[in-house]
A and B are shown apart, each in its own frame.
Chain A
């Protein structure tokens, strides 16, 4: 089971993610509400997985992804995004994101995306 950091400016999305991920047996170790906060908290908690919103105030998810990946080459970051942001998702993938989940978030979609990053042996 994974230690996960949630990065999203929306409390609603963080609540949905926490509920679904905890039901899957994972642990939410910390939450961040901006890309800037995520960079600082990643260095402290070193989570197995980060769920990262793309559109956030102060610093967006793609900038945070690039900065985290620069200092932590093995960081596993999965983008959470909306339909209509496909171009930005592609930018995230080429910048090192390991996958993405489109809203509305469902447990099935989360399981599929996490399995792609952490395939069971």
Chain B
């Protein structure tokens, strides 16, 4: 189980770094192997098959998120649309990163299904993480931190 979660964590870490460096053209300075900080924009996605269930959370600091927002959302935006777009974008980021990561998962996880991502409040995230074992990492960039938590719920 620990080997599996480490493999999943490594894949997500690598794709997160690639995403920040290649899609947003940001330099990543440091990757910490543990974090317990929740950032401004947080989404969750579930990876599941008959015997395995794992939840991935990605949490992005405000300034960093704004940079990603500017990169993805071109053109004029009505102020009333901004929150909806931010939620959508946070969910798309986790969908893209975790989706890309699955290419490098162990073969036994080739039938995992990705859920629809959900945007969460800090309170909701704390409730999910509370009393659960999780692995995490934090990528530091010049614009703030990018954090991820991987929680294993079921393993056959």
Distance of A84 Cα from B104 Cα, bound (Å): 10
Closest residue of chain A to B112, judged by CB? Answer: A84
What number of A-B contacts does a CB cutoff of 8 Å give? 53
What bracket does the count of chain A residues touching chain B fall in? 10 to 19
8 example contacts (A-B, Cβ-Cβ < 8 A) are as follows: A12-B85, A82-B114, A84-B99, A84-B100, A84-B102, A85-B99, A85-B114, A103-B92
Whether the Cβ atoms of B89 and A12 lie closer than 8 Å is yes
Whether the Cβ atoms of A82 and B72 lie closer than 8 Å is no
* Contact with B72, one of A12, A83, A85, A87 (Cβ below 8 angstroms): A12
Given contacts A15-B73, A104-B96, contact A87 B111 (CB under 8 A): yes
Distance of A85 Cα from B74 Cα, bound (Å): 27
Tell me whether B98 is interfacial, beta carbon within 8 Å: yes
Interface size on B, residues (CB 8 A): 25
Whether the Cβ atoms of B92 and A84 lie closer than 8 Å is no
* Contact with A11, one of B85, B101, B116 (Cβ below 8 angstroms): B85
* Contact with A55, one of B72, B102, B111, B116 (Cβ below 8 angstroms): B116
A residues within 8 Å of B by Cβ?
A: 10-13, 15-16, 19, 55, 57, 82-85, 87, 102-104
Distance of A55 Cα from B114 Cα, bound (Å): 10
Chain B residues whose CB sits within 8 angstroms of the CB of A12 once the complex forms: 72-73, 85, 88-89, 92
* Known A10-B92, A13-B92, A84-B114; 11 more pairs at CB < 8 Å: A12-B73, A12-B85, A12-B88, A15-B73, A82-B96, A83-B100, A85-B114, A102-B99, A103-B92, A103-B96, A104-B23
4 A-B pairs with the lowest CB-CB distances in the bound complex, closest first? A82-B99, A84-B102, A83-B99, A84-B99
Distance of A104 Cα from B72 Cα, bound (Å): 10
Distance of A21 Cα from B116 Cα, bound (Å): 25
A61 CB to nearest chain B CB (Å): 12
B residues within 8 Å of A by Cβ?
A: 23, 47, 72-75, 81, 84-85, 88-89, 91-92, 95-96, 98-103, 111-112, 114, 116
Given contacts A10-B91, A104-B23, A104-B96, contact A83 B85 (CB under 8 A): no
Whether the Cβ atoms of B84 and A84 lie closer than 8 Å is no
Closest residue of chain A to B15, judged by CB? Answer: A83
Chain A residues whose CB sits within 8 angstroms of the CB of B95 once the complex forms: 82, 103
Distance of A55 Cα from B73 Cα, bound (Å): 21
Chain A residues whose CB sits within 8 angstroms of the CB of B99 once the complex forms: 82-85, 102-103
With most chain A CB atoms within 10 A of its CB, the pick from B81, B84, B100 is B100
A5 CB to nearest chain B CB (Å): 19
